Amino acid sequence: MAVSVSSERDTVASPVQRAFREALYAGAIALGLFILFIGLKTDQNISNQLILAQRWGLLITVVVLTMLGRFFYIAYGQPFMTNQKIADVATGLLPASLASRFFQLPAFIVAIVLAVVLFAFNSALPGLVGDKLAGGLQFLRALAVIYALACVIFYFRAFIHANFTKLGIAALVLYPILVVVVLSIYAWSIMGGLQGSLKWVDNYGIQILIYVMLAWGLNIVVGLAGLLDLGYVAFYAVGAYAYALLGSHYGLSFWILLPVAGAMAAFWGVMLGFPVLRLRGDYLAIVTLAFGEIIRLVLINWRDVTNGSAGVSGIPKVTFFGLMTFNSTDPNYIGKVLDIAQSSAYYKIFLYYLILALALLTAFVTTRLRRMPVGRAWEALREDEIACRSLGINTTTTKLTAFATGAMFGGFAGAFFSARQGFVSPESFVFLESAIILAIVVLGGMGSLVGIAVAAMVMIGGTEALRELDFLKSFFGKDFTPELYRMLLFGMAMVIVMLWKPRGFVGSREPTAFLRERKAVSGSFTKEGHG
């Protein structure tokens, strides 16, 4: 590792000297990397010809920032990390001492007070300090809330760790209610609360849970059976189009089509599984990738059925188990039946609970299957395929069931997705989606449901949160669009998290059976499969 090499030089140069030298190197490299792309910009002029715009100031800023970052990392960051004596370099766990210095009671109280004050005076802020600062203060408020929450988690970490699953499910179930209640109090009206909750329930809650479910589904194939699948989004697409087409053409209900979508996706899972049975490693990866692309290309080009790139619209909404609907024009609209005011929030909250139920079903089935022979066979397959065969396990059917089961949950998620959006197009099923889902599985720790859920929350929630940074416009000017940086930061976050925790957030494996006590199996023993 580069770090260990540089620490040898430590003996001859002081950290500051070394940092200075490293900073110069970093600056030179950054200059080389950025000179053409940040220093110059290709723009179109009025006659649509490309011209170059010059941005040398920006280039210098970026290079200087890189140098400063490198300098401080080598001079202070690295010695600090070494002094912390990170016991477990492999897992990158922060030592408790560092964390306890970061989460302190006075700071916690300050954060709470700050958050409450800023919430209380929210509407008065722009008048008091001006628009620009008000945006910044709102951001500060969000940070204070996050810090306070992190403190609570830190202080109760033992309790949380012991009851993580129960607490997690409880938090997920209560989440929309809490959001509505908090926002209702804030807005002094229940309707206001419902309207305000839309963003929180839909953009964060549903969005993250879809990815949680997809990642849990893919986890069966990649995390348990150890078969690398780069085309998982294809099954998502199959499920989505199955509901979109059958639902809009034949008017079949979501509740009938949900199993149909799952079954169709599972069927395609087996179809993919057959040719790739003999393939290993990267050959498997490319064929699954190719499969994902084939499905997308067929969706684009089979215009008679799929309406091509334009996509399918007018997909019926989910009904409340056939009893009530969420279309305000219907006679049995939920508002009319229950005699409450009209709001689009009901549907979103209902969808939230629907995807939560589907995700929990995935988790339940996965945990259940892991304790059954087929699940153990998946994991054994990941560990050693030849040994599996020597024990009489039919590896063909085992692989196919893994593909089919994983695909089925992808299909469920797809049907849900098209019901939620009301519109599907091939745009939603690009390779990037497969990559994001796979990244969540690996970042979470292969095989660990909790780790994967956390990874989905961090990665998807994090990128969604970047949409909230509009206040930065007031600092960097109107042209600044933080959303543009969303995927750039997402990609970089993938790299950083992987470097920090190569085995994912939860690197250990929970055994499926025990004789005396359940001990987690360290990640260094588990294999990653040949696929």
Partner 1 sequence: MSANSMKDAILQVEHLSMKFGGLVAIGDLSFQAKRGEITALIGPNGAGKTTVFNCITGFYKPSEGMITLNGADGSSFLLERLPNHEIPARAKVARTFQNIRLFSGMTLLENLLVAQHNKLMKASGYTILGLLGIGGYRRASAESVELAKHWLEKADLVDRADDPAGDLPYGAQRRLEIARAMCTGPELLCLDEPAAGLNPKESAALNTLLMDIKSSTSILLIEHDMSVVMQISDHVVVLEYGRKISDGSPQSVRTDPRVIAAYLGVDDEEVETVLTEVGDEDVIEQLDIGPDTAHGPGTSSSYLAGPVSDTIGHSEGERVTVSKGASKAAQFDAKASVAPRKPTERATAKPPGKSPTSKPRGGRK
Partner 2 sequence: MQYFVQQLINGLTLGSIYGLIAIGYTMVYGIIGMINFAHGDIFMVGAFAALVVFLILGSLFYSVPVVLALLIMMIVAMLLTSLYNWTIEKVAYRPLRGSFRLAPLITAIGMSIALSNFIQVTQGPRNKPIPPMVSQVYNINGISVSLKQIIIVIVTALLLALFWYLVNRTSLGRAQRACEQDRKMAALLGVDVDRTISITFIMGAALAAVAGTLFLMYYGVIAFSDGFVPGVKAFTAAVLGGIGSLPGAVLGGLMIGFIESMWSAYFSIDYKDVAAFSILAIVLIFLPSGILGRPEVEKV
| Other beta carbons less than 10 A from residue 233's beta carbon | 29
Distance of alpha carbon 263 from alpha carbon 403, whole angstroms = 12
Torsion sign over Cα 380, 382, 384, 385: positive
Using the rule CB under 8 A, give the single segment among 93-101, 159-167, 393-401, 436-444 that binds partner 2.
Answer: 436-444
377 binds partner 1 (CB under 8 A): yes
Task: Using CB under 8 A, count the residues that bind partner 1.
Answer: 40
517 binds partner 1 (CB under 8 A): yes
Instruction: Return the residues of window 504-523 that contact partner 2 according to CB under 8 A.
Output: 523
| Other beta carbons less than 10 A from residue 74's beta carbon | 22
Torsion sign over Cα 188, 194, 198, 201: positive
462 binds, among partner 1, partner 2, none (CB under 5 to 8 A by kind): none
Q: Which amino acid is at 207?
A: Q
Instruction: Return the residues of window 398-427 that contact partner 1 according to CB under 8 A.
Output: 401
Using the rule CB under 8 A, give the single segment among 79-87, 204-212, 302-310, 517-525 that binds partner 1.
Answer: 517-525
**Which stretches within 188-280 are classed as H helix?**
190-198, 207-219, 233-250, 254-276
43 binds, among partner 2, partner 1, none (CB under 5 to 8 A by kind): partner 2
CA dihedral 457, 460, 465, 466 (to 10 degrees): 140
Among 9, 41, 368, 371, binds partner 2 (CB under 8 A): 41
Cα 119 to chain centroid distance, Å, stands at: 28
Nearer to partner 1, 162 or 521 (CB): 521
Nearer to partner 1, 321 or 525 (CB): 525
- Residue span 362-401 as binding mask against partner 2, x where in contact by CB under 8 A, dash where not: ------------------------x---------------
Distance of alpha carbon 176 from alpha carbon 187, whole angstroms = 16
Among 290, 389, 481, 488, binds partner 1 (CB under 8 A): 389
110 binds, among partner 2, partner 1, none (CB under 5 to 8 A by kind): none
Among 26, 312, 380, 407, binds partner 1 (CB under 8 A): 380
Burial 465-494 (b: 16+ CB within 10 A, else e): ebeebebbebeeeeeeebeeebeeebeebb
Q: Which amino acid is at 96?
A: A
Nearer to partner 2, 411 or 523 (CB): 523
Instruction: Return the residues of window 289-318 that contact partner 2 according to CB under 8 A.
Output: 289-291, 293-294, 297-298, 300-301
H/E stretch holding 441 reads: helix 431-444
484 binds partner 2 (CB under 8 A): yes
Distance of alpha carbon 153 from alpha carbon 137, whole angstroms = 24
**Which stretches within 251-394 are classed as H helix?**
254-276, 281-301, 303-306, 334-338, 345-370, 373-383, 385-390
Distance of alpha carbon 233 from alpha carbon 211, whole angstroms = 11
**Site residues for partner 1 per CB under 8 A:** 365, 368-369, 372-374, 376-377, 379-380, 382-384, 386-395, 401, 509, 511-519, 521-522, 524-527
**Site residues for partner 2 per CB under 8 A:** 1-3, 29, 32-33, 36-38, 40-44, 48-52, 222, 228, 275-276, 278-283, 285-287, 289-291, 293-294, 297-298, 300-301, 386, 431-432, 435, 438-439, 442-443, 446, 484-485, 487-488, 490-495, 498-499, 502-503, 523, 528
